[in-house]
Amino acid sequence: MASPPAHDREKVVSKLPGWLRQELKIRAAQLGIEIQAAVEQGILHWSALASSPSSVDTAGADSFSTWLPPGQWDDFKATAATRQVSLTQGLAQAVQVWLEANPTPAVKRPDVPRRLIVCNQKGGVGKTAITAGVGEALAESSDSLYPVRISRHFAAALKQEEPAVRELPGIGLRVLLVDFDPQSHLTKQLGLEPLSMEGDSLTKHMAGEPVGKLADLIVPVESDRFGDRLYLLPSCNDAFLLDVKLAGVRAREAALERALASVEGDFDVVLVDCPPSLGLSMDAAVHYGRRRDGEAVGQSGVLIVVQAEDSSADAYDLLTTQIEDLRTDLALELDYLGIVVNHYDSRRGFIATSSLRAWMDIRDPKVVGLIGDLKEQKEAVRLKEPLLDYAPRCDQALGIRALAREIS
Model pLDDT, residue 150: 78
For 4-30, the pLDDT digits (tens) are: 555 689 999 999 999 999 999 999 999
Among 31-40, 150-159, 194-203, the minimum mean pLDDT is found in: 150-159
Model pLDDT, residue 161: 55
Domain 114-406 adopts which CATH fold? Rossmann fold (3.40.50)
Model pLDDT, residue 7: 63
Check: CATH 1.10.1220 for 10-101? Answer: yes
Contact 315, 122 (CB under 8 A): yes
247 Cβ contact list (under 8 Å, min separation 6):
280
For 395-405, the pLDDT digits (tens) are: 999 999 999 99
- Cα separation, 249 vs 244, in Å, equals 10
Give residue limits of the domains in the chain.
10-101, 114-406
Model pLDDT, residue 122: 80
- Do the bridges between strand 219-220 and strand 145-149 make them parallel or antiparallel, or are there none, so unpaired? unpaired
Read off the pLDDT of each residue in 269-298 and give the average, rounded to a whole number: 92
Give the pLDDT band of residue 155 (cuts 50, 70, 90): very low
240 burial (CB, 10 Å; 0-12 / 13-18 / 19+) is middle
Give the pLDDT band of residue 158 (cuts 50, 70, 90): very low
Mean residue pLDDT across the chain: 91
For 353-387, the pLDDT digits (tens) are: 888 888 888 888 999 999 999 899 999 999 999 99
For 234-272, the pLDDT digits (tens) are: 999 888 889 888 988 888 999 999 999 999 999 999 999
- Cα separation, 369 vs 367, in Å, equals 6
Model pLDDT, residue 217: 98
- Cα separation, 197 vs 190, in Å, equals 20
Read off the pLDDT of each residue in 120-141 and give the average, rounded to a whole number: 93
- Cα separation, 14 vs 96, in Å, equals 15
Model pLDDT, residue 152: 55
